[in-house]
Structure 1
Amino acid sequence: MLKNWTRIGRWSLLVAVGGVLLAGAARVHARRRAARPAPDTGLFAGSATPQLVAKQFKFTEGPAVDKAGNVFFTDQPNNKIWKYDTHGQLSVFLDPAGRANGMYFDHHGNLIACADEHNQLWSIAPDKQVTVLVDLPVGQRLNGPNDVWVAPDGGIYFTDPYYQRDYWTRTAPEQPGQYVYYLAPGQHQPIAVETSLQKPNGLIGPRDGKTLYIGDIDGNKTYRYQ
Structure 2
Amino acid sequence: MHRNFKNALAFSALLLASTALYAQIEDKRGIVAKDAELVKVQDGFTFTEGPAVNRMGDIFFTDQPNDKIYKWSAGSNKVTLFREGAGRSNGLYFQLDGTLIAAADLNNELWAIDQNTGKETVIVPSFKGKKLNGPNDVWVRPKGGLYFTDPLYARPYWEGIRTPERQQDGEHVYFLSADRSEFFRVTEDLTKPNGIVGTPDGKNLYVADIGAKKTWKYDIQDDGYLTNKTLFCEMGSDGMTLDERGNVYLTGDGVTVFDKNGEKIAHIPVPAKWTANVVFGALDRKTLFITAMDAVYTLKMKTRGVW
> Which residue of structure 1 lines up, in the alignment, with residue 126 of structure 2?
136
Structure 2 residue aligned with 1:120, among 103, 109, 134? Answer: 109
- Could you tell which deviates more after superposition, 73-82 or 128-137? 128-137
Deviations, residues 23-49 of structure 1 (Å, cap 9, x unaligned): xxxxxxxxxxxxxxxx85477332211
Deviations, residues 37-65 of structure 1 (Å, cap 9, x unaligned): xx854773322111111111000000111
> Aligned partners of 1:210, 1:137: CA distance in 2, in Å?
26
Bigger Rg over Cα? 2
> Which residue of structure 1 lines up, in the alignment, with residue 100 of structure 2?
111
> Which residue of structure 2 lines up, in the alignment, with residue 68 of structure 1?
56
Q: 5+ unaligned residues in a row in structure 1: which ranges?
A: 1-38
Structure 1 position 152, deviation (Å): 1.1
- Could you tell which deviates more after superposition, 195-204 or 45-54? 45-54
Change (3 A) 1:69 1:195: same
> Which residue of structure 2 lines up, in the alignment, with residue 213 of structure 1?
206
Aligned residues: 188
Deviations, residues 78-105 of structure 1 (Å, cap 9, x unaligned): 1100001021121000101110001110
> Which residue of structure 2 lines up, in the alignment, with residue 92 of structure 1?
81
Paired-residue identity, %:
47
Q: Which amino acid aligns with 2:49?
A: E
> Aligned partners of 1:138, 1:166: CA distance in 2, in Å?
25
Q: Which amino acid aligns with 1:180?
A: V
Does the Cα contact within 8 Å between 1:120 and 1:145 map onto a contact in 2? yes
> Aligned partners of 1:138, 1:183: CA distance in 2, in Å?
14
Q: Secondary structure at the match of 1:102?
A: strand
Change (3 A) 1:152 1:137: closer
Q: Which amino acid aligns with 2:141?
A: A
Alignment of structure 1 residues 37-56 onto 2, 5 Å: 40-41=28-29, 44-56=32-44
The normalised TM-score by structure 1 is 0.79
> Which residue of structure 2 lines up, in the alignment, with residue 10 of structure 1?
none
Find out whether 1:166 has 2:156 as its counterpart. yes
Q: Which amino acid aligns with 2:154?
A: Q
Q: Which amino acid aligns with 2:107?
A: H
Deviations, residues 190-219 of structure 1 (Å, cap 9, x unaligned): 311101011000000121111100000011
> Which residue of structure 1 lines up, in the alignment, with residue 305 of structure 2?
none
Find out whether 1:223 has 2:213 as its counterpart. no
Structure 2 residue aligned with 1:198, among 191, 195, 198? Answer: 191
Structure 1 position 72, deviation (Å): 0.8
> Aligned partners of 1:214, 1:201: CA distance in 2, in Å?
7
Q: Which amino acid aligns with 1:183?
A: L
More strand by percentage: 2
Q: Which runs of 4+ in 1 moved over 6 A?
A: none
Structure 1 position 172, deviation (Å): 0.8
Q: 5+ unaligned residues in a row in structure 2: which ranges?
A: 1-26, 220-307
More helix by percentage: 2
> Which residue of structure 2 lines up, in the alignment, with residue 151 of structure 1?
141
Does the Cα contact within 8 Å between 1:139 and 1:174 map onto a contact in 2? no
Change (3 A) 1:137 1:148: closer
